[in-house]
């Protein structure tokens, strides 16, 4: 019986671990963020949603959507066009096809952050994860979408959520 040669992944993991160690040595993470005209706000549109900074406020919305039918992606994109970022997607109910979404809106003073989001939400077959890899790479390369999360659906399929930040 042959043994599996995992040296290629060990090499990649070592490179990632080295990079993480070099990032830990950085004393001031805020040096990577460029301030906007108004003090206390991040220029990078994704960072305010993940790093809490002075003077930031958020509004949250919890919405259940049927992702197994047509129209869920349209609703997600309408929310994204209004500045709502998906902070999380829950499990898809096997009987109803409904998944809970947590949306987060970044408020700046009395205004809403100008950042908009576009979403892709689709089902994929668990046994064909290599096909999912191809879809993820194509949507990233051609349209600029980034992988956000997967949500379990049933024994054979799950759902994938991808996000595109519109500056």
139 within domain boundaries = yes
Assigned domain for 131 exists: yes
Structure tokens, 55: 């003077």
What's the whole-number mean pLDDT along residues 84-108? 92
In a domain, 134, yes or no: yes
pLDDT of residue 111: 74
Is 6 domain-assigned?
no
Instruction: Evaluate whether residue 30 is within a structural domain.
Output: no
- Phi and psi for 8 in degrees, rounded to 5? -65, -40
**pLDDT confidence bin for 15, thresholds 50/70/90:** confident
Is residue 28 a part of any domain in this protein? no
In a domain, 52, yes or no: yes
Do the Cβ atoms of 69 and 97 come closer than 8 Å?
yes
Domain span at residue 47 reads 35-166
What pLDDT band is residue 155 in, cutting at 50, 70 and 90? very high
Half-sphere exposure of 162 (CA within 13 A, CB side): 19
The pLDDT value given to residue 98 = 96
Residue 116 lies inside a defined structural domain of this protein: yes
Q: How much is the pTM?
A: 0.69
Three-state DSSP class for 98? strand
Structural domain total, the chain: 1
pLDDT surpasses 70 at 45: no
Residue 78 DSSP SS3: helix
pLDDT at 53 > cutoff 70: no
Structure tokens of 88? 């999380």
């Amino acid at each position: 019986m042959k043994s599996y040669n995992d040296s290629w992944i060990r090499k990649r993991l070592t490179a990632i671990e080295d990079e993480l160690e070099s990032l830990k040595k950085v004393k001031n993470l805020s040096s990577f963020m460029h301030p906007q005209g108004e003090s206390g706000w991040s220029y990078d549109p994704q960072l305010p949603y993940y790093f809490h900074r002075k003077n930031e406020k958020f509004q949250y919305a919890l919405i259940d959507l049927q992702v197994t039918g047509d129209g869920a992606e349209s609703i997600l994109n309408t929310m994204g066009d209004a500045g709502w970022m998906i902070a999380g997607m829950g499990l898809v109910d096997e009987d109803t096809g409904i998944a809970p979404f947590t949306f987060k809106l970044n408020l700046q003073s009395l205004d809403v952050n100008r950042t908009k989001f576009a979403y892709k939400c689709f089902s994929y077959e668990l046994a064909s994860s290599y096909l999912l890899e191809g879809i993820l790479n194509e949507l990233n390369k051609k349209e600029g979408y980034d992988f956000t999360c997967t949500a379990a659906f049933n024994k054979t399929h799950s759902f994938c959520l991808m996000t595109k930040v519109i500056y």
